[in-house]
């Protein structure tokens, strides 16, 4: 044998010297769920070890994240049922929960990069990302509201808006409204390749945002989120979003879509984020609870795999936990 590959695996010293992909807290963005009230830290039933926070406790959480080296959060709000309607009216309330959450984080830690979810589902009485008429999720009227929502987040102090709605033309509409209002430095992280995935279930529990089961309401999001069978379409969607002004693009979910991550890495030259979604988190938790998998090892293996596939950073519910593991 002229080549013996095991030589480079002999011990940890040589393995670490030739290691290709590494995860560090610099790679993590922490999604955070916010609720109305005070003194609230509520565990999400289908996401063991993950919580919804009221604004006061959100501040502590953000400080802890920063102390662990996590420099970005992605905010989501759980909206009270009485504030939901078909047009997402509450989404553009300058004093809404999201707008107050943005301010709370920026007041606590101005350096923390605050990104905000832009989509109507938490605000929609029907649990859809846009406005519904005659059983259809309308595109252009939804984009109009979503652009106003993005502006409202920018006004509250968001560093980046993160549209997760998958309507056509929303990035351009958001870029335009931000420019017109002199928010030249507000970034857009586009959920550009977001699939109609069954892995979002626990997230919809967390925000009580699942599509409602009623006549004339689409029971899934397949008319706007992408078909899991498609690969070329992800490149098309993403290139369009970059043309329309996206600063960062995203693939979501993570693990089942790592081929897409690599396709994009080879085809675009803007940063790529990957969202390791709620179902991916909960699967690991459930298997570990049963004693079937080594929790910590699987967490690090998956995060590393996402990095290796081409992610520049990862939105993950393991952000805080993995940052602590890395400190050991």
Residues recognised as catalytic: 194, 252
Q: Tell me how far CA of residue 216 lies from CA of 133, 140, 219, 247, in angstroms.
A: 9, 19, 9, 36
Of 299, 284, 286, give the one whose Cα is nearest residue 28. 299
- Residues 53, 126, 200, 321: which binds ligand PBG (CB under 6 A)? 200
117 contacts ligand PBG (rule: CB under 6 A): yes
The answer to whether the annotation marks 36 as part of a ligand binding site is: no
**Inter-residue contact 71 to 26 (CB < 8 Å):** yes
CB atoms under 10 Å from CB of 1, counted, come to 4
d(CA 276, CA 305): 11
Q: Tell me how far CA of residue 257 lies from CA of 86, 192, 205, 232, 291, in angstroms.
A: 32, 13, 23, 13, 26
Of 221, 213, 167, give the one whose Cα is nearest residue 195. 221
121 contacts ligand PBG (rule: CB under 6 A): yes
Nearest to ligand PBG of 90, 117 (CB atom): 117
What is the SS3 assignment for 226? strand
Residues 55-114 that bind ligand PBG (CB under 6 A): none
Residues 15-54 that bind ligand PBG (CB under 6 A): none
241 contacts ligand PBG (rule: CB under 6 A): no
Nearest to ligand PBG of 88, 310 (CB atom): 88
164 contacts ligand PBG (rule: CB under 6 A): yes
- Residues 61, 129, 241, 263: which binds ligand PBG (CB under 6 A)? 129
- Residue least distant from ligand PBG (Cβ): 203
For residue 277, the minimal CB distance to ligand PBG (Å) is 4
For residue 20, the minimal CB distance to ligand PBG (Å) is 28
For residue 160, the minimal CB distance to ligand PBG (Å) is 14
For residue 61, the minimal CB distance to ligand PBG (Å) is 17
263 contacts ligand PBG (rule: CB under 6 A): no
d(CA 4, CA 1): 7
- Number of residues lying near ligand PBG (CB under 6 A): 12
Nearest to ligand PBG of 107, 208 (CB atom): 208
d(CA 130, CA 140): 9
Taking CB under 6 A as the binding criterion, the range among 11-19, 116-124, 181-189, 238-246 that sits at the site for ligand PBG is: 116-124
Q: How many residues does the chain have?
A: 328
203 contacts ligand PBG (rule: CB under 6 A): yes
Q: Is 153 exposed, middle or buried (0-12, 13-18, 19+ CB in 10 A)?
A: buried
The DSSP code sequence of 43-105 is EETTEEEEEEEEHHHHHHHHHHHHHTT--EEEEEEPPPGGG-BSS-GGGG-TTSHHHHHHHHH
Residue numbers belonging to the annotated binding site for Mg(2+): 237
Residue numbers belonging to the annotated binding site: 237
Contacting positions for ligand PBG (CB under 6 A) = 117, 119, 121, 129, 164-165, 200, 203-204, 221, 277-278
């Amino acid at each position: 044998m002229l080549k013996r590959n095991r030589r480079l695996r002999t011990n940890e010293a040589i393995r670490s010297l030739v290691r290709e992909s590494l995860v560090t807290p610099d790679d993590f963005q922490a999604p955070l769920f916010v609720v109305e009230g005070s003194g609230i830290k509520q565990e999400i039933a289908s996401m063991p070890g993950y919580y919804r926070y009221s604004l006061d406790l959100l501040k502590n959480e953000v400080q802890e994240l920063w102390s662990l080296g996590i420099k970005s959060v992605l905010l989501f709000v759980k909206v009270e049922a009485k504030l939901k309607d078909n047009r997402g009216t509450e989404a553009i309330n300058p004093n809404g929960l999201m707008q107050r959450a943005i301010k709370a984080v920026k007041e606590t830690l101005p350096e923390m990069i605050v990104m905000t979810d832009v989509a109507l589902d938490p605000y929609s009485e029907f649990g859809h990302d846009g406005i519904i008429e005659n059983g259809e999720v309308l595109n252009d009227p939804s984009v109009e509201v979503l652009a106003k929502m993005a502006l409202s987040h920018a006004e509250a102090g968001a560093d980046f808006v993160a549209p997760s709605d998958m309507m056509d033309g929303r990035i351009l509409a958001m870029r335009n409204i931000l420019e017109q209002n002199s928010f030249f430095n507000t970034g857009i992280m586009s959920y550009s390749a977001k699939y109609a995935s069954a892995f979002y279930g626990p997230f919809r529990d967390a925000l009580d945002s699942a599509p409602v089961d009623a006549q004339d309401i689409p029971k899934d999001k397949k008319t706007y989120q992408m078909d899991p069978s498609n690969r070329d379409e992800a490149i098309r969607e993403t290139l369009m979003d970059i043309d329309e002004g996206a600063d960062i693009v995203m693939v979501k979910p993570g693990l089942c879509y790592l081929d897409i991550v690599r396709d994009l890495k080879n085809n675009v030259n803007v940063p790529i984020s990957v969202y390791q979604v709620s179902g991916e988190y909960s699967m690991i938790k459930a298997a570990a609870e049963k004693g079937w998998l080594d929790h910590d090892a699987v967490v690090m293996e998956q995060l590393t795999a996402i990095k290796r596939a081409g992610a520049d950073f990862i939105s993950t519910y393991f952000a805080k936990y993995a940052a602590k593991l890395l400190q050991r």
